[in-house]
Amino acid sequence: MKDRAASLFPLAMLVLLAALTFWLNRVIQGDNPRGPQRHDADYWVEHFQVRRFDSEGKLQNTLVADKLLHYPDDDTTIVTTPHITYHRQAPSEIFARMAYVGKDGKEIDLIDDVRVIRHGATDDARPTVLETRTLKVFPDDEKGYTNDPVVITQGMSVMHGSGLDIDNRSGITVLRGRVTGTLHRNRTDTP
């Protein structure tokens, strides 16, 4: 009988050690899921406005939108109906149906019905309107680009391109690919 109890003692110690290991593993890992995380928003904001200032305290740009959703699994943000205004001497406005904001906010992908309006330097100057399907914007640099077809209008003048690069600070827009257009000059009635 003593031999039997002596032979069961190591087995009992082994079971106790396995149970202790299992318990420690559960305590350390907690209830973290082993599979991929779900893509659920951890917070959202409705009808909001965000103002961004430069290092000198001047208003750089304003973002107004209907809704913002943040997803913690990939740290992305989706914004519906964004309206971005760059407050310069000649302000520029950007509209879209949706925007995807990257992890650090350095890149914004504007999607569907993207419209950029660059107002003239004077009140009587006609605005320049750019329309495309997508536009990747780098807000800190005030630059952007698209590889989708683009239409630019100013008054009766119209330009078409298959992509573009835009720089809001310099005011230079470069159309890429095959570019076609019709330019109308402003006529004055003075002799």
82 is a domain residue = yes
Residue 89 confidence (pLDDT):
74
Are 79 and 101 members of one domain? yes
188 is a domain residue = no
190 is a domain residue = no
Are 106 and 135 members of one domain? yes
Mean pLDDT of the chain: 83
pTM greater than the 0.85 cutoff = no
Are 85 and 178 members of one domain? yes
Are 78 and 158 members of one domain? yes
- Give the range among 72-76, 79-83, 120-124, 147-151 with minimum mean pLDDT: 120-124
Whole-angstrom distance, CA of residue 21 vs CA of residue 29 = 12
Residue 30 confidence (pLDDT):
66
Query: Is residue 138 within 8 Å of 106, Cβ to Cβ?
Result: yes
Are 56 and 19 members of one domain? no
Are 87 and 1 members of one domain? no
189 is a domain residue = no
Q: How far is CA 77 from CA 15, 58, 166, in A?
A: 49, 26, 24
pLDDT tens-digit map of 17-40 = 777 777 777 777 666 556 566 677
Residue 19: give the domain boundaries: 1-32
CATH code: domain of residue 129: 2.60.450.10
| Structural domain count, the chain | 2
